[in-house]
């Protein structure tokens, strides 16, 4: 490979890493991050994987080992013993961790976030490797790496401690390894494919759908290579042996992530809560296999993994509030993730996908395999309409989308190639303009980032990442001299972010009397909190344009003091408080 393309890849990795590194301190903790941090630290300190069972442990194990070595501990309480195994304990113990360590908790989170950066860069290398294999052209691979590496989605979610982007990064290597093993059928490649598929499953449960596809692909690849053998028996024994070895190695990798705990427990010994595993009666725990032959069989799946799958599936049983294009409803839409991609993908990338679709279907078998993975994942998540809250569940396929966007590069003329690089430049420019709040990005076809809250909700727009900007704003000489009230999301720990506040119920009589002299106050509310409040009731002052905007996600409204009486608020410690 020419040195100039390797140099281009190094520049891409360095630039992406610099963006991610800076963003780790600019974004406040999201809903899931302290729970992930607490779960990882608990794993290293006690060896248990009970916390955050709805996601496999690999990402947080990698991210939190320096935090655990730093002497951090997760607070304990009897509540978690009394409430049973079906409770989501991490969402209580995560905030307890933040409260116990204050500003040190945020420092620990930044460290864990930065441990995730190598995983994102690993994904960029995977996109490059897959694109080189698909096209044979390192220039096309560099183009795909730019599309992936500087996507606002990747730079917005990548700096966070979570599973979505890391799972996409490990998954692209699993796809690459399986396709390579299918083509070569060599033992070494089959082993590597099994390791990568196991790692992908240990990162995100959604990648379980890759396992049967990979088994079939490995079997077909080995069978094809065995057709040249003279002994007909080997034509069947070799594929059978290869697939059995592949399945065993995948299982061994996943079991290792769970420390080989709770294996071979009879299925009937578990207590489930999802209708799929517990039974058809909604809201009742149980086990549909109790007293059956299958229930008496020992299950090779780690017990914590099976319980996590049950809790994850429970989320799909009951329709949840969903928001799309200004409409709230119970349960979602089959088209939800298609709209999310159309809204949140940069225009340059969408244009490249439209142009490349023709060539990727016509010319490239590896691109067809990428389309297959994209289609399977897309159908799987789209069918779960009861939980249309987070577009991030489809980020798994972003690396494959980057590859198919350049699959026809060799058939493009000079004009198309130049336009492709202009489109890639649009992606980079877009990310620079919205940095570090790529999580809130919406492309200009839908009105741009300022229109995001009218189109989408939850982690698609505001996941609580904007409060660091409020901390900076609170220390500046502000234009307003009004008392500042804050509608605090329940998971945000202001002390850990250095925001000096006091709860309304803790105000002294003197402070209350001073507040009473002000007919108007400035109330800060995050977009997520505003959307949740407006979905349940009408709050007239939230229907007007805010007087203040801080960062991406916090709005300020000047309202009368009496209008705050129904809200749970904190007060910023500044004059007159």
Q: Are 94 and 112 in contact (CB under 8 A)?
A: no
Dump pLDDT digits (tens) for 331-387: 889 999 999 999 999 999 999 988 877 665 555 667 778 888 999 999 999 998 888
The conformational region for residue 325 under phi > 0 = left, psi -120 to 50 = alpha, else beta, is left
> Is this prediction's pTM over 0.85?
yes
Dump pLDDT digits (tens) for 431-480: 999 999 999 999 999 999 888 988 999 889 988 888 999 988 888 876 56
In this prediction, residue 576 carries a pLDDT of 46
In this prediction, residue 360 carries a pLDDT of 58
pLDDT at 573 over 80: no
Angstrom CA distances, 150 to 402, 423, 428, 542, stand at 11, 12, 5, 34
Give yes or no for a cis peptide into 436 (omega within 30° of 0). Answer: yes
Mean pLDDT for the stretch of residues 83-103: 83
Q: Are 402 and 127 in contact (CB under 8 A)?
A: yes
Angstrom CA distances, 9 to 2, 141, 151, 445, 509, stand at 11, 9, 16, 30, 63
In this prediction, residue 281 carries a pLDDT of 65
> Among residues of the chain, what percentage have pLDDT more than 70?
93
Domain parsing of the chain, residue ranges = 466-572
Q: What mean pLDDT value characterizes the chain?
A: 88
In this prediction, residue 81 carries a pLDDT of 47
pLDDT at 315 over 90: no
Where does the pLDDT of residue 320 fall: very low under 50, low under 70, confident under 90, or very high at 90 and above? confident
Q: Are 221 and 185 in contact (CB under 8 A)?
A: yes
Nearest to 91 by CA among 45, 47, 34: 34
Q: What are 539-547's contacts with CB under 8 Å, separation 24+?
A: 547/522
pLDDT at 327 over 50: yes
In this prediction, residue 82 carries a pLDDT of 44
Give the span between the Cα atoms of 458 and 156, in whole angstroms. 14
pLDDT at 84 over 60: no
């Amino acid at each position: 490979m020419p040195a100039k393309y390797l140099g281009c890849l190094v520049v891409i990795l360095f630039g992406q890493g610099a963006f991610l590194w800076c963003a780790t301190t600019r974004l406040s903790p999201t809903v899931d991050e302290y729970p992930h941090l607490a779960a990882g630290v608990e794993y290293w300190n006690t060896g248990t994987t009970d916390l955050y069972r709805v996601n496999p442990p690999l990402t947080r194990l990698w991210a939190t080992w320096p935090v655990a070595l730093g002497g951090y501990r997760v607070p304990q309480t009897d509540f978690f013993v009394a409430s049973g195994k079906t409770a989501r304990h991490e969402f209580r113990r995560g905030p307890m961790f933040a409260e116990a360590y204050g500003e040190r908790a945020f420092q620990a989170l930044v460290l864990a976030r930065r441990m995730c950066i190598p995983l994102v860069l690993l994904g960029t290398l995977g996109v490059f490797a897959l694109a080189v294999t698909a096209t044979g052209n390192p220039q096309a691979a560099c183009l795909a790496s730019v599309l992936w590496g500087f996507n606002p989605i990747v730079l917005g979610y990548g700096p966070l401690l979570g599973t979505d982007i890391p799972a996409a990064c490990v998954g692209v290597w699993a796809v690459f390894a399986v396709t390579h093993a299918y083509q070569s059928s060599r033992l070494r490649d089959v082993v590597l494919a099994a390791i990568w598929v196991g790692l992908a499953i240990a990162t995100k449960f959604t990648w379980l759908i890759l396992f049967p596809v990979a088994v079939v692909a490995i079997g077909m690849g080995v069978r094809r290579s065995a057709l040249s053998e003279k002994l007909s028996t080997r034509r069947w024994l070799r594929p059978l042996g290869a697939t059995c070895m592949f399945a065993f190695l995948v299982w061994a990798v996943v079991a290792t992530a769970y420390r080989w705990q709770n294996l071979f427990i009879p299925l009937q010994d578990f207590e489930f809560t999802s209708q799929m595993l517990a039974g058809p009666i909604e809201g009742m725990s149980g086990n549909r296999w109790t007293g059956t032959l299958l229930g008496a069989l020992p299950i090779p799946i780690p017990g914590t993994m099976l319980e996590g799958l049950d809790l994850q599936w429970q989320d799909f049983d009951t329709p949840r509030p969903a928001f799309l294009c200004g409409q709230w409803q119970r349960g979602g839409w089959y088209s939800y993730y298609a709209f999310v991609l159309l809204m949140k993908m940069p225009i340059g990338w969408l244009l490249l996908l439209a142009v490349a679709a023709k060539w990727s279907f016509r010319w490239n078998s590896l691109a067809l395999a990428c389309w297959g993975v994209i289609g399977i994942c897309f159908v799987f998540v789209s069918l779960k309409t009861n939980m249309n809250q987070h577009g991030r569940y489809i980020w798994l396929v972003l690396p494959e989308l980057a590859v198919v966007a350049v699959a026809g590069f060799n058939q493009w003329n000079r004009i198309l190639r130049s336009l492709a690089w202009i489109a890639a430049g649009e992606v980079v420019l877009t990310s620079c303009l919205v940095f570090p709040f790529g999580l809130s990005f919406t492309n200009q076809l839908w009105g741009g980032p300022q229109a995001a809250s009218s189109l989408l909700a939850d982690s698609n727009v505001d996941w609580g990442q904007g409060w660091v900007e409020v901390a900076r704003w609170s220390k500046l000489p502000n234009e307003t001299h009004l008392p500042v009230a804050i509608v605090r999301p329940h998971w945000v720990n202001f002390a850990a972010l250095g925001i000096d506040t006091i709860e309304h119920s803790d105000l002294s009589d003197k402070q209350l009397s001073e507040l009473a002299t002000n007919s108007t106050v400035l109330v800060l509310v995050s977009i997520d909190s505003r959307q949740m409040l407006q979905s349940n009731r009408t709050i007239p002052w939230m229907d007007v344009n805010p007087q203040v905007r801080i960062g991406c996600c916090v709005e300020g409204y000047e309202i009368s003091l009496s209008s705050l009486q129904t809200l749970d608020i904190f007060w910023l410690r500044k004059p007159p408080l």
